[in-house]
């Protein structure tokens, strides 16, 4: 996209109609070989005071024994490390050696169900949803000197941040004893979700879990700076839904129960995979369940239907809450089988070693509704929710300066432009006034989540953004480093890898 086209899109709040899916985007669904370790090519100049490591996680393996995953979001976790010291950089990656990964590697076959596949053996083998095992392939977080790789299935897996070896399953979030919202009771086993929140002011780590049964139950856990579990609250959900992320403030957990409902009968009887069992019911609207962090009765409020992958941030304002997020009128990119995330895999040749050529053209699939930058104004006293669309263009992967997480933020950073989820640029949105700035890599590039790296000794929003991308012309992956305060000026440095990479979801930064 030209700078002129990008400015026009910003001024109108609309995106241009999506073109046919470029073939090079199918590289996002190509399996990685793993075990890479080298110094990549750098153009521009890496800031001298950028010292530490960027870690990223996402699905890296999509085939075994002649079977291929049907959905782009479903694969074994691949951890990446981009380390910086004295203006130099080194790249490394490795698979998370979960129980599932090890046993399936030995058998050269898929043995377990995942959220888009059933296990071999038909309906009988999948009764009760089968034996789900974590792939540890969505997020990665530092805690107590280790990395924790999360999935939509428990447990999290611990990774050595120095060499990326897998240490083993983590006990984080695996307590089976919890309290209900009133502070009493016992909680059965639940599934730890991929997204967490860090309360920088208190040094606390907040996690979410979901328990499906006759009723869905929500688990809210808080860990202290020393690693001890401070609280584990459990409350009933008013509906059975798929939820990926949540909001948190200094006083509350907020769970957005969008109407992506789960048809439990076909899932539990082994007829359908988890994704195949999801049903979007927009006529039922959203419910926001607000749970005090110190316990107490939850409050449930109604809001217009909007599917949310990711929260940007939330904070308390008086007796209410401000919650910013990316929301979709319809998640048609995700499910059912005509969705983009299914169709991009249908036209793909699978693992191709180091050539970067797939030999087939991916199918576009459905993806007509962009992720819009939205804000909830939650009035707890009046039990009301107001929703605003702050920018109607295509956005995803929102981020704030981690030092202001759960408190008032003045700026948000995110991907923008391009083909719905396959964004081609990065945007900074300033909440004091609503102005935005953007850098677009153009129509032959895709860029993912920008990770904010605080500048040592700097103030709020002073630092760098580091984002991973895919160059459609070179058919290889890259990382770009931006000054977070001068995004429109373009990258300070571009790190060009010698190969492509599959889609990467989320990352974190560990200072040296």
Q: Tell me the pLDDT tens digit for each residue of 409-453.
A: 999 999 999 876 799 999 999 999 999 999 999 999 999 999 999
Ramachandran region of residue 176, left (φ > 0), alpha (ψ -120 to 50) or beta?
Answer: alpha
Whether the predicted pLDDT of 214 surpasses 70: yes
Percent of the chain's residues with pLDDT above 90: 79
Q: What is the pLDDT of residues 483-497, one digit of tens each?
A: 999 999 999 999 999
**CA-to-CA distance for 280 and 262, rounded, in angstroms?**
9
Q: What is the pLDDT of residue 130?
A: 74
In DSSP terms, 241 is beta-bridged to 261
Q: What is the pLDDT of residue 420?
A: 64
**CA-to-CA distance for 325 and 212, rounded, in angstroms?**
25
Query: Any idea which residue has 């929140």 for tokens?
Result: 197
**CA-to-CA distance for 465 and 451, rounded, in angstroms?**
5
Nearest CA among 92, 35, 46, 81 for reference residue 495:
46
Whether the predicted pLDDT of 357 surpasses 50: no
Q: What is the pLDDT of residue 13?
A: 39
Residue 121 sits at the vertex; the CA angle it makes with 341 and 270, to the nearest 5 degrees, is 60
Query: Any idea which residue has 């995803």 for tokens?
Result: 396
Q: Coil, strand, or helix at residue 439?
A: strand
The answer to pTM > 0.75 is: yes
Query: Any idea which residue has 């316990």 for tokens?
Result: 295
Whether the predicted pLDDT of 186 surpasses 60: no
Q: What is the pLDDT of residue 187?
A: 39
The length of the chain is 512
The DSSP output letter for 20 is P
**CA-to-CA distance for 176 and 189, rounded, in angstroms?**
6
**CA-to-CA distance for 301 and 206, rounded, in angstroms?**
22
**CA-to-CA distance for 403 and 326, rounded, in angstroms?**
21
Helix segments in 336-489, DSSP class H: 340-346
Cα dihedral across residues 389, 391, 397, 398: positive or negative: negative
Helix segments in 276-361, DSSP class H: 340-346
Q: What is the pLDDT of residues 117-169, one digit of tens each?
A: 999 888 888 888 778 889 999 999 999 899 999 999 889 999 999 999 999 99
Q: Coil, strand, or helix at residue 236?
A: strand
The residues, any chain, with a CB within 8 Å of residue 121's CB and separated by 6 or more, are: none
Ramachandran region of residue 489, left (φ > 0), alpha (ψ -120 to 50) or beta?
Answer: alpha
Whether the predicted pLDDT of 111 surpasses 90: yes
**CA-to-CA distance for 396 and 138, rounded, in angstroms?**
15
Percent of the chain's residues with pLDDT above 70: 90
Q: Coil, strand, or helix at residue 25?
A: helix
């Amino acid at each position: 996209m030209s700078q002129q086209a990008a400015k026009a899109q910003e001024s109108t709040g609309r995106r241009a109609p999506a073109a046919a899916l470029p073939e090079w985007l199918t590289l996002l669904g190509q399996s990685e070989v793993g075990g890479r370790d080298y110094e990549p090519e750098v153009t521009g100049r890496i800031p001298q005071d950028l010292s530490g490591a960027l870690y990223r996680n996402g699905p890296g393996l999509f085939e075994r024994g002649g079977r291929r995953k049907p959905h782009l979001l479903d694969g074994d976790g691949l951890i990446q490390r981009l380390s910086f010291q004295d203006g130099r950089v080194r790249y490394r990656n490795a698979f998370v050696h979960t129980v599932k990964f090890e046993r399936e590697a030995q058998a050269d076959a898929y043995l377990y169900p995942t959220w888009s596949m059933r296990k071999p053996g038909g309906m009988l083998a999948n009764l009760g949803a089968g034996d789900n095992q974590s792939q540890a392939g969505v997020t990665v977080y530092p805690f107590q000197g280790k990395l924790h790789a999360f999935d939509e299935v428990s447990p999290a897996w611990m990774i050595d941040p120095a060499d990326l070896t897998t240490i083993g399953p983590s006990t984080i979030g695996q307590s089976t004893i919890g309290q209900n919202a009133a502070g009493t009771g016992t909680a059965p086993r639940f599934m730890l979700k991929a997204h967490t929140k860090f309360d920088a002011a208190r040094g606390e780590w907040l996690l979410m879990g979901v328990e499906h049964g006759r009723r869905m139950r929500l688990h809210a856990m808080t860990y202290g700076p020393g690693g001890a579990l401070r609280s584990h609250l459990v409350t009933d959900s008013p509906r059975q839904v798929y939820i990926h992320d949540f909001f948190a403030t200094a006083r509350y957990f907020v769970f957005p129960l969008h109407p992506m409902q789960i048809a439990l009968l076909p899932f539990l009887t082994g007829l359908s995979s988890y994704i195949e069992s999801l049903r979007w019911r927009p006529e039922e609207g959203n419910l926001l369940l607000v749970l005090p962090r110190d316990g107490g009765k939850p409050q449930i409020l109604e809001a217009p239907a909007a599917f949310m992958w990711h929260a940007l941030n939330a904070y308390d304002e008086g007796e209410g809450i401000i919650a910013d997020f990316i929301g979709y009128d319809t998640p048609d990119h995700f499910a059912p089988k005509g969705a983009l995330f299914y169709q991009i895999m249908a036209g793909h040749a699978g693992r191709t070693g180091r050539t970067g050529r797939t030999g087939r053209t991916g199918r576009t699939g459905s993806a007509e509704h962009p992720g819009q930058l939205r804000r909830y104004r939650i009035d707890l006293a009046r039990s009301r929710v107001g929703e605003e669309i702050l920018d109607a263009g295509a956005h995803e992967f929102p981020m704030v300066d981690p030092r202001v997480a759960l408190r008032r933020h003045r700026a948000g950073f995110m991907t923008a432009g391009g083909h719905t989820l396959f964004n081609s640029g990065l945007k900074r949105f300033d909440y004091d006034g609503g102005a935005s700035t953007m850098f677009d890599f153009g129509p032959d590039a895709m860029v993912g989540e920008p990770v904010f790296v605080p500048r040592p000794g700097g103030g709020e929003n002073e630092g760098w953004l580091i984002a991973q991308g895919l160059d459609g012309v070179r058919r290889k992956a890259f990382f770009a480093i931006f000054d977070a305060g001068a995004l429109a000026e373009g990258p300070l440095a571009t790190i060009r890898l010698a190969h492509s990479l599959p889609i990467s979801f989320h990352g974190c930064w560990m200072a040296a």
